[in-house]
Structures are given as structure tokens and as C-alpha cells.
Structure 1
Amino acid sequence: MPKYYDKLLRKLQKRPLSQNEFSSLLCELGGLLVEPQIELEIIKTSGIPLLFAHNKVYLRTTLTPYLQESFCIVDIETNGHNPYIHQPIEIGAIHYQNGEIKETFHSFIFCQNIPQKITEITGITNSMLQDSPKIHQVLESFKLFLKDSIFVAHNVDFDFNFLSNACYCNHFGYLYNPRLCTIKLAQKTLQSPKYSLGFLNDFLGIHHHTLHRALEDSKITLEIFKKCLKQLDKNIYTSYDLLKFTNSKSILQGNLNEN
């Protein structure tokens, strides 16, 4: 994914920006042909969580207690493993905030070619998708659901990169939401021999029966996420603290396992 907004994010992670600094950055990003206000609207739709207060611009995650943060727990099924030649065929997501599920999102996506091995894993067949909405319709709805929430998934890079690339290819731009991997977070907070979704589902006593279906797997991921949050130290307070802790290199124990 292009690192178009990396400079902006690095600055905001260190400190809030004055309106003048932020406006200068907008001009730098947009260049001569794009009005700063248009660039700001593009940033807002990209998923970067900005907060405007007291004539300054903040990265919302640096101020928001993680218990009050907006998280979007996501899982997808795809017709292959390469985001550049394959596509999502099902998206499931849960908006979780203040310890509550606010709403859920689920949709199949039209696709003409489902390999047999994908059907064997997911149970999704060609006929199940024939009357489903086209990918650009689903992605538009999903982006409106996701907004600027923290994107949470088990093996998050797979789901995030797949959806970000799909959004770009369908003219919605790349996703720039903060992302959190529940495999990494579980490794930091839970004692387990393995950290795959299926193993933790049983090991932690979650016992959801359906695996490899998007919404059901996002429900399992949410339960793992909630159990991890209960084990956090008290010095982790903001969402940024949580993201930094999750991405730090130390691991409690066990082996990283695939989704």
C-alpha cells in the first residue's frame, strides 16, 4: 500500500498540529492542483481518525481511552490468497465500542469463479453468490460502516490489505485506518500453546461452531479481543498505547499461527 499519509501520521503520533501546520501539510499533500479542503475530505474518508479541538489537530487514538474507542472487528472470505488477482466474496464486521456491540455488517459479494478448494473450506458456492451485490456496492457500504474505527482482525494484514486493495481498485482509495492484530495481542496477553483462530475458539471456551465464515469468525475474534483487553496492564490507557503495545516485539509465549 502506498505510504502517502505516512508523514502526516508520524507528526500526529508525536504531537498535535496547529491549524497552520496542518494546512501546510494539506497543501504539500495535494499539490497545486488540489484545494486543501478537498484533500481534507479525502483524508477523512481514508480512515485516519482525526480530532479537531482548540485550534489544533489531533490523532484521535492518542487521546481516546481504549475502552471508549471505536473498533471494527473484521473477517473476510476470499476466492484466493492474492489480493491483486483475487477478491473478497464475503465480509463480516462488528462495530464494538464502550464494551458493547453497536451494530454488525454482513454481505456476500458477487463472484463468478469460486475454486472447489475454497468451497470445501468455507461452504460458499458459486450459486450462493449469483444474486449477491457487486463488489463496488459492498465496499461502499463497508467503508461507511468502518468509518475511522480501528480495524481489528485475526492476522489483520491479510484482511486489511485485501480490502484496502479492493477499495483502491474500485475507486474508493486505500484504507488508512489504524489496525490491530488479535494474534499479536493474544501472544502478549494470553498463555496458549497456539494462537490460531480455531485453536483459541476451543482453548478459551468460546465454542462458536462455524469457522471460515466471515461474520461468525468476526464474532470469535471479538471474544478473543475482549479476553485480551481484560489482561492489559493499567499503564495502557489510550488507543495509541494499545496499538503500540500490540505491535511491540516481545511475545508472552507460543507460536504465531495462521488465521
Structure 2
Amino acid sequence: MPLKPSKPKKLKAKSTSILNALENKTLAMSDFLLLCQSDEVLGDLAICENSSEFLQSVGMDICFEGGEVYLGSLKRALREQVFCFVDIESSGADPRVSQILEIGAIKYRNGEVLGRFESYVRANEVPEIIEEITGIELDDVRNAPSDREVLSEFREFLGQSIFVAHNVNFDYLYLDYYFSLLFGVGLYNQKLCSIELAKRSIPAPRYGLDFLNEFLEIFTPSLHRAYADAYTCMKIFEKCLQTLAIRFPTSQALLNYSQKGKNIQPPSKS
């Protein structure tokens, strides 16, 4: 009897454990060192003069203060927090056998757009179904900048901002896989899912991007393109915050609110 092929392992960002361990708390430096040693990517990290620069360069919003370590979102006022709304278009659902075709992103703080990022990514095929959905053709990506070049520029653009996307795990894990593949270190940014935030903020029959674009009267004209979808995600985020009669004292309080089962550091009524 032939053996059934084993299912590929589910993707998981290698930063998940360390970010979960840091959220909502401060750690003594000694505990932080132990945490880094347990991380499969940061295991050899020695805390030295340039360690904060390295951690920030891979997206970790890390703060060292008075012998303690914490994520900046813990104490940063929401109005001061930088968010990056991100969307990718790809040739398939699994980055292990597919390619990124396009990245679009918007950097944002307290209602102000701080920067925009949009680029095709070189690829050797665009499946017909993807071309039909997105309008991206092989000629658009055949001679585009390489994934290494685009992702290097994107990482600098993303910085230590909170990574926001509609169904965030798809975009985050896709990019994390490629960063790990190309540079050896994935994403260490905190993330927020605009679907989960919308479910807690806006009564709606459905929460897909296309539906909320119409339901919330955003009316972005060109969906299923990376920058347009990142823009729609940003507008959904704004609508959510406008709808909530809640004041979030810190950006971590908003992250907690958006995450199922987290009731730490509750927001106060306005």
C-alpha cells in the first residue's frame, strides 16, 4: 500500500515566542538575555553596545531603560504609534512554492500618512487565475526588481512599526518566510489584524476586504492590488477607531483589544 504524502508543516514566524514573552511586561536584562538565548534566530545574540540597533533593524520595537527591557508599544501613547498597513499579491498561497508579485504599504501615525511603498517583485510566472483576479501580467513582473532588492528596501521602510494587514497572518508569514530565506532573519515586528479589529468594532454581516470596502463606504476603486488593498486596510482601521467609544491609553492596549482572548491592560471609557 503506497504511503500517503505527508502534509507540509504549517508556517509559523520564528519571532512569535519572543514577542509573546515580551508583550505586556518589562523584563530584567538577565531575563531578556535568557529569552534571546532560547530564540532559534537570536540564540547567539550578545547584548552589547549595538544590540538594540540590530534588534530594531529586524523590526523589534525594543527599549532598554534602567536595566529593564520592554517593547515600545507598552508605554507609547496610541497617537504616537507608527503603523504600517501592508498587502502583498502573490502567485499562490504558500510561499514555499510560490512567489511574491507585488508589495504595497502605507506608513501612518495618528491620521497622518508618513510614507508610501509600492513595487512589483520579479517573478517567472503569473498563474492565469491570479492574472484574472489582480490584473498583474507576466510582463509587469518579468523585469521588476528582485525579491532581495525589494524586500531590503521594504524592511527599511517598515522599520519598527506595527505591521497591519487584513488577515494579517497571510501577509506577515509570507514576508517572514522570504526574509528568513533571503537574509536569515524574519520579521520581529508586532502585528495587528484589521479583520479581528473590525469584528470587535463594527457590526457587519461579513468582514472580507471587498465587502467592508463597500459596507463602510470607502469605495477604493481598484481592489486586489497591493497598494489599493493596503489603503483600504488603513481606512478600515480608521473606521474602527472612530466607531469605538473607547480610549486606548497605549498602542499595546489596542493590540490587546484586537486579539482574541486578551484582556490585559483594558482600555478605558472615553
RMSD (CA atoms)? 2.2
The answer for the alignment partner of 1:70 in structure 2 is 82
Residue 20 of structure 1 deviates from its aligned partner by: 4.2
SS of 2:105 mapped into structure 1 = strand
Contact kept, 8 Å, 2:61 with 2:72, in 1: the verdict is: yes
Normalising to structure 2: TM-score of the pair?
Answer: 0.84
Aligned 1:90-239 pairs, distance under 5 A: 90-239=102-251
- Contact 2:13/2:173, CA 8 A, preserved across alignment: no
Q: Which residue of 2 aligns with 1:9?
A: 19
8 A contact 1:201–1:208 mirrored in 2: yes
Contact 1:91–1:107 under 8 Å retained in 2: yes
**1:66-93 alpha-carbon deviations (Å, 9 max, x no partner):** 2221100001100111121112110000
Residue of structure 2 equivalent to 1:257: none
Contact kept? 1:206, 1:223, Cα under 8 Å: yes
Identity %: 36
Select between 56-65 and 112-121 the one with higher mean Cα deviation: 56-65
Q: Which runs of 5+ in 2 are unaligned?
A: 1-11, 263-270
Distance 1:2 1:224, change over 3 A: closer
Flag the structure with higher helix content.
1
Are 1:92 and 1:105, in contact at CA under 8 Å, matched by a contact in 2?
yes
Number of the residue aligned with 1:18: 28
Structure 1: any 5+ residue segments left out of the alignment? 251-259
Output the CA distance in 1 between the equivalents of 2:211 and 2:122.
31
Name the count of aligned residue pairs: 248
After alignment, is 42-51 or 168-177 more displaced? 42-51
Q: Is contact 1:26–1:40 with CA below 8 Å preserved after alignment?
A: no
Query: What is the TM-score normalised by the length of structure 1?
Result: 0.87
CA contact under 8 A between 1:94 and 1:218: conserved in structure 2? yes
2:46 aligns to what? 35
**In structure 2, what is the Cα distance between the partners aligned to 1:2 and 1:157?**
9
Distance 2:197 2:99 in 1: 27
**Distance in 2 between residues matched to 1:64 and 1:185, nearest whole Å:** 19
